Structure 1
Amino acid sequence: MNSHLKNKVIAITGTTGGLGKALSLELEKRGAKLALMDLDVEQVKKQATELNALGLEVDITDYESIKKAMAKVNDHYGQIDIVIANAGITQIAPMTTTDERDFSRVIDINLNGSWRTFKAALSYIEESKGYLAAICSMASFVHCPLQASYAASKAGMLAVCNSIRLEVKHLGVDVGSYHPTFFPSPLMDNVTSDPVGHKLWGGNKEGPWKMITVEEVVDEILNGLEDRAELVVIPKRKTLVAKASGFFRRYIEKRGFKGNEVQEAIELAKSLSN
Structure 2
Amino acid sequence: MGQDRLYGRVAVVTGAARGVGAATARHLAERGLRVVLLGRELESLRRVAATLPTEARCFEVDVTDEAALQGAARVVGERMGPASVVVANAGIAAAGPFAASEAALFNRVIDVNLVGSANTARVFLPQLIATRGYFLQVASTAAFGAAPFMSAYCASKAGVESFAQALRTELRAEGVDVGIAYLHWTGTDMIDALDEHPVLRALRAHQPAPARRVHSSDQVAAWLTRGVERRATSIYAPPWLRLVQPLRPLFPLIVSRIARRSLAGLPADGLQRTTGVLGAGGRADWEARRPETPGPPVIPPQC
Q: TM-score, normalised by structure 1?
A: 0.90
Work out the number of aligned pairs and report it: 272
Using the alignment, how far apart are the partners of 1:170 and 1:123 within structure 2? 14
Asked if 1:211 corresponds to 2:223, the answer is no
- How many angstroms does 1:258 deviate by? 6.4
Asked if 1:192 corresponds to 2:195, the answer is yes
Question: C-alpha offsets along residues 60-80 of structure 1, whole Å, 9 cap, x if unaligned?
Answer: 111111111111111111221
Q: Which residue of 1 aligns with 2:287?
A: none
Alpha carbons of 1:26 and 1:271: their partners in 2 closer, same or farther (altered >3 Å)?
Answer: closer
- How many angstroms does 1:8 deviate by? 2.0
- How many angstroms does 1:147 deviate by? 0.9
Q: Say whether the 8 Å CA contact 1:192–1:204 is kept in structure 2.
A: no
Question: C-alpha offsets along residues 53-99 of structure 1, whole Å, 9 cap, x if unaligned?
Answer: 11111111111111111111111112210111111011111222112
Alpha carbons of 1:82 and 1:149: their partners in 2 closer, same or farther (altered >3 Å)?
Answer: same
Alpha carbons of 1:213 and 1:197: their partners in 2 closer, same or farther (altered >3 Å)?
Answer: same
Using the alignment, how far apart are the partners of 1:203 and 1:58 within structure 2? 38
Paired AA for residue 115 in structure 2: N
Q: Say whether the 8 Å CA contact 1:17–1:186 is kept in structure 2.
A: no
Using the alignment, how far apart are the partners of 1:147 and 1:271 within structure 2? 13
Q: Say whether the 8 Å CA contact 2:95–2:150 is kept in structure 1.
A: yes
Q: Which residue of 1 aligns with 2:92?
A: 89
Asked if 1:116 corresponds to 2:119, the answer is yes
Matching residue within 156, 179, 184 for 1:181: 184
Q: Say whether the 8 Å CA contact 1:200–1:262 is kept in structure 2.
A: no
Using the alignment, how far apart are the partners of 2:142 and 2:260 within structure 1? 19
Question: C-alpha offsets along residues 13-63 of structure 1, whole Å, 9 cap, x if unaligned?
Answer: 111121112111111111111011111112212322332411111111111
Alignment of 1:25-44 (within 5 A): 25-44=26-45
Matching residue within 270, 275, 287 for 1:268: 270
Alpha carbons of 1:2 and 1:207: their partners in 2 closer, same or farther (altered >3 Å)?
Answer: closer
- How many angstroms does 1:206 deviate by? 3.5
Alignment of 1:1-274 (within 5 A): 3-51=4-52, 52-202=55-205, 206=209, 208-254=211-257, 256-257=258-259, 259-261=261-263, 264=266, 267-271=269-273
| Paired residue secondary structure (1:61) | coil
- More deviation, 234-243/9-18: 234-243
- How many angstroms does 1:208 deviate by? 3.1
Q: Say whether the 8 Å CA contact 1:37–1:44 is kept in structure 2.
A: yes
Q: Which residue of 1 aligns with 2:280?
A: none
Higher relative contact order (Cα pairs below 8 Å, separated by 6+ residues): 2
Alpha carbons of 1:139 and 1:127: their partners in 2 closer, same or farther (altered >3 Å)?
Answer: same
Q: Which runs of 4+ in 1 moved over 6 A?
A: none
Q: Say whether the 8 Å CA contact 2:185–2:212 is kept in structure 1.
A: yes
- How many angstroms does 1:169 deviate by? 0.9
Using the alignment, how far apart are the partners of 1:267 and 1:200 within structure 2? 17
Unmatched segments (≥5 aa) in structure 2: 276-303
Question: C-alpha offsets along residues 78-121 of structure 1, whole Å, 9 cap, x if unaligned?
Answer: 22101111110111112221121111010000000011000010
- How many angstroms does 1:269 deviate by? 4.3
Paired AA for residue 62 in structure 1: D
Alpha carbons of 1:33 and 1:101: their partners in 2 closer, same or farther (altered >3 Å)?
Answer: same
Unmatched segments (≥5 aa) in structure 1: none
Using the alignment, how far apart are the partners of 1:266 and 1:122 within structure 2? 48
Paired AA for residue 266 in structure 2: E
Question: C-alpha offsets along residues 135-156 of structure 1, whole Å, 9 cap, x if unaligned?
Answer: 1111111211111111110110
Alpha carbons of 1:80 and 1:260: their partners in 2 closer, same or farther (altered >3 Å)?
Answer: closer
Identical residues among aligned pairs (%): 27
Paired AA for residue 83 in structure 1: V
Q: Say whether the 8 Å CA contact 1:3–1:226 is kept in structure 2.
A: no
| Paired residue secondary structure (1:87) | coil
